[in-house]
Structures are given as C-alpha cells and as structure tokens.
Amino acid sequence: MTFTLKNKNAILFDMDGVLYDSMPNHSKAWSQAMTDFGIRMTPEDVYMNEGSTGSFTIKKISLRERGYEATEEEVERIYRHKAEIFQSLPVARLMPGALEVFRKAKASGLQIQIVTGSGQKTLIDRVLHDFDGFITRDLMVTSFDVKRGKPYPDPYLKGLEVGRVDAEHAVVVENAPLGVRAAVAAGIDTIAVNTGPLDDSALMAEGPKLLLPSVQALADSWESLF
C-alpha cells in the first residue's frame, strides 16, 4: 500500500536539519572542537552520528581514533567547547519549506510537535518564536525530557505521550539515519528528508516509509500524500 497521511493525527518534526539548516554549523563546530583535542572527526562522522547525544558521539569517535574512550571530564570539556564554537557561528536560517509544511499540516488538522536531541536553550526559545502559532513548549520534547537520546526510541515515545497520540496515528519527519532509527523503533511511520551530504542509502537502511530530497519537496508533495 502506498504511504498516506490520511489516518494521521499528529506530525512530529526533528529540529536540526529539518526545521533549521543548522547542520553545516554543527559539522564545523564538531570537527573544530575534536581537532582542538587531538581527535579527528570528519563531516561524514558528524552526519552519521547526528541525533545521538554529544557524550555518545565523543566516546565513540575517541575509541575509534585513539583506541580508548574519552573520560567524563574530557567529554564535558569537548562538548562545552563544541557548543561555544557553535554559538560563535552565524545563526542558521530556517529550512526552506519548513514554514510551508507547518501551514499545510495545520490546515490538514494535524497536531504539530517537535522532538529534538538538542539541549541548547537558546535554540528551543528560538523555535517557539519562529514557529509561533504552530507549536507550544508542552508539545516539544528536548534532551531535557528524556534520559536516553536517539537512536533509542525514547524521545519519540515521549513525543507520543505528551501529544496523547498512538504510534499508528503519528508520522515523523527526520533527516538523520539515527533519528529515523529512533522513530521506526518507536513504531512510527517516518518520512526521511535528505537535507545533508549523506547518500540516500544511509537513510533508506533505517526503514523510512518515504524518502524525499528536501523539506521543500515535502511541502510540494503534501496534497499527494492524502
């Protein structure tokens, strides 16, 4: 059966790489921060680990590059350094098509929610401002709301809980392989949007119902999904 949004009541959006074109900044900040600590991290590493917590990423790359995991203290220093570099970069623009998708989703009667692994307070405040009229804080799940981040299903399960919706009546929009994995593990139909440099196969391997090349493409094909 072809994928349809007809039976959906809620749409859950990831934030970085879906609502904001912020991944190039994250990529720069990660590579620079890790290099400053003597650990090599490529842009592909950043995109393949997108969605998981900073701690998880740092430990994994450290193990691969140095043969041992970073200590908790080192993890904290690297992550703080990364956040500082990220803050110093120009503010990421809204993803083209994001507001249009929000408008169409609202007009279709879907409840709009955001599920992000981010714990950057400034970004969360910015979302509430940029998408005013579409989203409220109680329908947002951030890293403050769950213990285990993506690729565990926990953030999306929490999203279903706060949205009072069951998995079969929800749909997720994600750009990262680990984000798709988390949503699929929560039992939710997922639309992958390939807004970064990864090959489509990296996203398709995680089992989305649909793969689109951009958020604008989702806006453009919205009516055909009903």
User: By the criterion CB under 5 A, which residues form the site for Ca ion?
Assistant: 14, 16-17, 175-176
Spatial contact of 151 and 182, defined as CB atoms under 8 Å apart = yes
Spatial contact of 26 and 86, defined as CB atoms under 8 Å apart = yes
Residue 150 CA, chain-centre distance (Å), reads 9
Name the closest residue to Ca ion (Cβ). 17
Q: Least separation, in Å, of the C-beta of 17 and Ca ion? A: 4
Q: Least separation, in Å, of the C-beta of 89 and Ca ion? A: 17
Give the strand order in the sheet containing 210-212.
Answer: 140-141, 111-115, 10-13, 170-174, 189-193, 210-212
The residue among 17 and 149 lying less far from Ca ion, judged by its C-beta, is 17
The residue among 16 and 189 lying less far from Ca ion, judged by its C-beta, is 16
The residue among 199 and 223 lying less far from Ca ion, judged by its C-beta, is 199
Q: Least separation, in Å, of the C-beta of 181 and Ca ion? A: 12
Q: Least separation, in Å, of the C-beta of 117 and Ca ion? A: 8
The residue among 14 and 45 lying less far from Ca ion, judged by its C-beta, is 14
Whether the link from the prior residue into 208 is cis, omega within 30° of 0, is no
Spatial contact of 98 and 218, defined as CB atoms under 8 Å apart = no
The residue among 41 and 192 lying less far from Ca ion, judged by its C-beta, is 192
H or E segment to which residue 212 belongs: strand 210-212
Q: Least separation, in Å, of the C-beta of 38 and Ca ion? A: 27
Q: Least separation, in Å, of the C-beta of 66 and Ca ion? A: 27
The residue among 17 and 159 lying less far from Ca ion, judged by its C-beta, is 17
Q: Is 87 helix (H, G, I), strand (E, B) or coil?
A: helix
Residue 126 CA, chain-centre distance (Å), reads 16
Strands (E), 62-149: 111-115, 140-141
